[in-house]
Structure 1
């Protein structure tokens, strides 16, 4: 005698919890009669805290990139003198609100802005907070690191090598569902070749397909999040952290906003800074 097993009960899964935005930071160009937004960033509370904010250094770095690398300061919207927050405040967080990005050194009309990553020229030196010694132990054996890097191999081989070497997602620590992820994207190969002397610390990569430019991420963090600019990697208080700045992936923001990332020793700091710039242009809609 045989029995027919009961049909499985199909029930609706509850929606994933999300991290609620505390508001937005809106940064405007101060020199136009019609309000011109340079940047909009969603603001979330820091993990294990009710304090919302975005690191001031991040907002300043982002605005400097959009302003063609012109250093400036943030003032409260409509006020030419009131500094939003002191730039030397350790770990200073900028709260939701409206601000102006001012460039005191530019007095000849409105300061120019850069509209696209491909038009952006990296500075001779990235801001000091991006220096590796600010957020990671110093590299002690660069020769050994470089010996493992082969830039001319097929991407499939390099991708597999990177995933095997890393063994886990740099953000979540997961060991499955891994993707090798370019910092400077493959679509920006022409930009990379043109600006390589400025962003390549050791002349270690002849193309974007080099291990200095590739980290390992969980598949969902790469394809629908990192590659769409929903979060950035940013140096903050001695670590490289993930900071979510859009409304697009609030479920992932709930788990990983302001969490420390484990960046492999082979990764070039200038590549991370270039990726930050690419993400900022993506967020700004440029």
Structure 2
């Protein structure tokens, strides 16, 4: 089986800035305004997008929107009453270490991934996110998922390493019930009869083995960022 030419180096370099020595010193606390401050923490996010402690504004907003049952009309404020909004900075970084997430009206919280429903619409900047098409390459139909993913991606999609790569499920096989309940097969593009939709290349990417382990252990997520 022939392979494609490897992709070029990733264009989304991290800027080579140092990360904070103590993550606890730069944790961003986001609160639910419907409860007292002694019991209203909605989520704690590590401020690792800046050496002084900040998180990508849109990523934090989308994370809170997911927790609020896919509510994309939310905004951050400095006060519980919601009078003093946090304006999205030009560089797209949320630097407030303690703020509130508001949506119009009172909002419930989705307690777990298995209780969450896949949204009918996506938040910004996911709606504006475009993915460059892969080079034309016909992959034989009679191949395993691992062979198909490695032939398509060539290298780890995060590190660009070619050695030690393997296919990583985006929606894990342990969440098969969630996958079926949310009809995710509609995105699968199944080409062979009898193939489980959760085990198709559209639900997998090539990752280096150690990165795959971190991904499975929920140590990071993949999210688009708008350029400043």
TM-score w.r.t. structure 2 length? 0.76
Contact 1:77-1:98 within 8 A present in 2 as well? no
Q: Which residue of 1 aligns with 2:205?
A: 215
Q: 1:85 aligns with which of 80, 84, 87?
A: 87
CA distance in structure 1 between the partners assigned to 2:48 and 2:81 by the alignment: 25
Q: Which residue of 2 aligns with 1:59?
A: 60
Q: Which residue of 2 aligns with 1:30?
A: 33
SS at match of 1:80: coil
Change (3 A) 1:76 1:213: same
1:172 aligns with 2:168: no
CA distance in structure 1 between the partners assigned to 2:19 and 2:55 by the alignment: 18
Change (3 A) 1:140 1:18: closer
* CA-to-aligned-CA distance 1:201-234 (integer Å, 9 cap, x gap): 4x514521010010011111111x2112221111
1:184 aligns with 2:171: yes
CA distance in structure 2 between the partners assigned to 1:149 and 1:90 by the alignment: 47
Structure 1 unmatched runs, 5+: 1-16, 239-286
CA distance in structure 2 between the partners assigned to 1:185 and 1:63 by the alignment: 22
Asked which structure has the greater CA Rg, the reply is 1
* CA-to-aligned-CA distance 1:72-116 (integer Å, 9 cap, x gap): 111114452111223xx5541001511111112x2xxx4211011
1:41 aligns with 2:45: yes
Change (3 A) 1:189 1:124: same
SS at match of 1:232: coil
How do 1:258-273 residues align onto structure 2 when only pairs under 5 Å count? none
Which structure's residues are more often helix, by fraction? 1
CA distance in structure 2 between the partners assigned to 1:186 and 1:45 by the alignment: 31
Q: Which residue of 2 aligns with 1:98?
A: 98
Structure 2 unmatched runs, 5+: 1-17, 191-195
CA distance in structure 2 between the partners assigned to 1:149 and 1:80 by the alignment: 56
CA distance in structure 2 between the partners assigned to 1:28 and 1:99 by the alignment: 6
**Matched pairs, number:** 201
CA RMSD of aligned residues (A): 2.8
CA distance in structure 2 between the partners assigned to 1:149 and 1:210 by the alignment: 14
1:130 aligns with 2:133: no
Judge which range, 26-35 or 77-86, deviates more.
Answer: 77-86
CA distance in structure 1 between the partners assigned to 2:85 and 2:174 by the alignment: 38
Change (3 A) 1:207 1:121: same
* CA-to-aligned-CA distance 1:161-204 (integer Å, 9 cap, x gap): 2123322111111111112101111111111111125x744x51
Q: Which residue of 1 aligns with 2:15?
A: none
Change (3 A) 1:216 1:228: same
SS at match of 1:26: strand
Change (3 A) 1:94 1:167: same
Change (3 A) 1:59 1:18: closer
Structure 1 position 237, deviation (Å): 2.4
TM-score w.r.t. structure 1 length? 0.62
